[in-house]
Structure 1
Amino acid sequence: MTQTEQTTQASPSAQRASDSTRVADRLRDEILDGVRAPGSKLVERDLASEFGVSRVPVREALKVLDVEGLVTLRPNTWAVVREFTASDLSDLDEVRSALEVLTFRLAAQRRDEAGLARLRAVLDAELAGARAEDPVAARRAAADFHEVVTELAGNRLLDELTETMRSRMRWAMGQHDDLMHVTEEHRVLFEAIAQGDVRGMERLVLAHMESSHRQRVEHEEREEARGRGR
């Protein structure tokens, strides 16, 4: 076997890891984008057939998503897409409000031209998605906006803390329907960061959190009404 063949032929364990990552990434996107609704069954056999892999990488992918808080494992039956309770979301909001204020303050203090350019690009993508009435694109970019702000904050411990909640935060941030409203709030936050408005950041962030909570409640009510109308 040539060196090229040796490097291109993955070992069985490496292939399983690759398959597991691919399945986890796909399922994560589908959950966050609303393709797989809360409470949906995730059956290993069916997913293995759908993704063209064995059940082992599917099982490993589901364990990853369970740790991220997006999936609930039910031994000897199947997994389900997590249904977040009001208490779950209240807990998340409390932690987010504390971390977000700190994150945006640090971003305003430590901003640089390169970071602001990245943040502007994400905001432009969010605006484009909102204008096109593309909820998936707009919501993904809205979540990306918060992650780029975390990068601008430049605090490794904050990165680690945020990483443990990233998937749950992205899910919660995606529970809104007024795409332009969220985009406008992000524009205001961007301007505050660009101007280094550290003193005004807490007020802006908490107002954004309150607005996000209100939009999430309205989104849930619309989804429930839609479900009753079927």
Structure 2
Amino acid sequence: MTTTEDRAPLAATRRRVLDELRERILSGRLRPGDRLVERELADGLGVSRVPVREAIRSLEAEGFVVVESPRRVVVRTLARVDVEELFDVRESLESLAAGLAATRAGQSDLRRLERLLADAARAAARGDAARTTVLNSRFHDEIVAIAGNTLLTTLLAPLEGRLRWLTSQNEHWSDLHEEHHRLVEAIASGDAARAREYAAEHVRVNRRVTLEALFG
């Protein structure tokens, strides 16, 4: 009989394997077209094949891998249309989040956003691309949290990894920092329309930068 104590470490192992494989894709250690072999991954991570199989299913649902056959799973290659569609959705949802945040943000919320910006600026100054990407993603996650809309959070959750991947394509860090700083100012103004418009423009700028980086 499986007890609560048995399930807890199993759940932790599943989460660890999923997080590790997702991070390998986001960091480029697993590249588009690379094959994911259950046995090899399980041996390398020191786990059974079960959590690896479950992680692959989750990564497929998140849009990171393609199951071409029962024995062949590869990292997905995003076409231009895939990236365009992601940005269409991102623009709509993040502008909504910014508008809601402008009506609800308190001083403590704004201070958290400023701290994330400061941390990201320090990481960028060190040339730490991975840390900068994580902090920039957390910045946007924090705006969604401030918005306080459960359905919006639910809609964004399945896209989180792919949106972080998009963020990692933009290494114009000083420009990005300035855009984020102005977005905080728009939210702090309490003007929902201004915050929505600035968030939308921020996404449009990132769309241009990302498409150029990926497709020339």
- Scaled by the length of structure 2, the TM-score of the pair is 0.91
What corresponds to 2:148 in structure 1?
Answer: 154
Distance 1:16 1:80 in 2: 25
Structure 1 counterpart SS, 2:69:
coil
Larger mean Cα displacement after TM superposition, 181-190 or 13-22: 13-22
Instruction: Within 5 Å, give how 1:1-230 maps onto structure 2.
Output: 10-11=5-6, 14-221=8-215
Structure with higher Rg: it is: 1
CA contact (8 A) 1:177 1:219 kept: no
CA contact (8 A) 2:92 2:200 kept: no
Paired AA for residue 144 in structure 1 = R
**1 or 2 for the larger relative contact order (CA 8 Å, sep ≥6)?**
2
Distance 2:72 2:139 in 1: 34
Distance 1:39 1:182 in 2: 30
Distance 2:66 2:107 in 1: 42
Distance 1:42 1:120 in 2: 39
Structure 2 counterpart SS, 1:164:
helix
What corresponds to 1:228 in structure 2?
Answer: none
Provide Cα deviations, 1:69-101, integer angstroms capped at 9, x if missing partner. 112223332321221111111211111111111
Displaced runs of 4 or more, over 6 A: none
Structure 1 counterpart SS, 2:58:
helix
CA contact (8 A) 2:18 2:55 kept: yes
What corresponds to 1:226 in structure 2?
Answer: none
CA contact (8 A) 1:177 1:215 kept: no
CA contact (8 A) 2:91 2:204 kept: no
Gaps in structure 2 of 5+ consecutive residues = none
Distance 2:134 2:207 in 1: 18
CA contact (8 A) 1:68 1:165 kept: yes
Paired AA for residue 62 in structure 2 = E
- Scaled by the length of structure 1, the TM-score of the pair is 0.86
Tell me by how many angstroms 1:221 deviates: 4.7
Distance 1:208 1:77 in 2: 41
Tell me by how many angstroms 1:15 deviates: 4.1
Tell me by how many angstroms 1:195 deviates: 2.2
Distance 2:130 2:41 in 1: 23
Distance 1:117 1:202 in 2: 20
User: Percent of aligned pairs with the same residue?
Assistant: 36
Distance 1:120 1:51 in 2: 37
Distance 1:16 1:209 in 2: 38
Structure 2 counterpart SS, 1:24:
helix
Paired AA for residue 47 in structure 2 = V
Distance 1:48 1:30 in 2: 14
CA contact (8 A) 2:144 2:153 kept: yes
Tell me by how many angstroms 1:148 deviates: 0.3
Gaps in structure 1 of 5+ consecutive residues = 1-5, 223-230
Distance 2:121 2:191 in 1: 23
What do you get for the CA RMSD once the two structures are aligned? 1.9
CA contact (8 A) 2:36 2:73 kept: yes
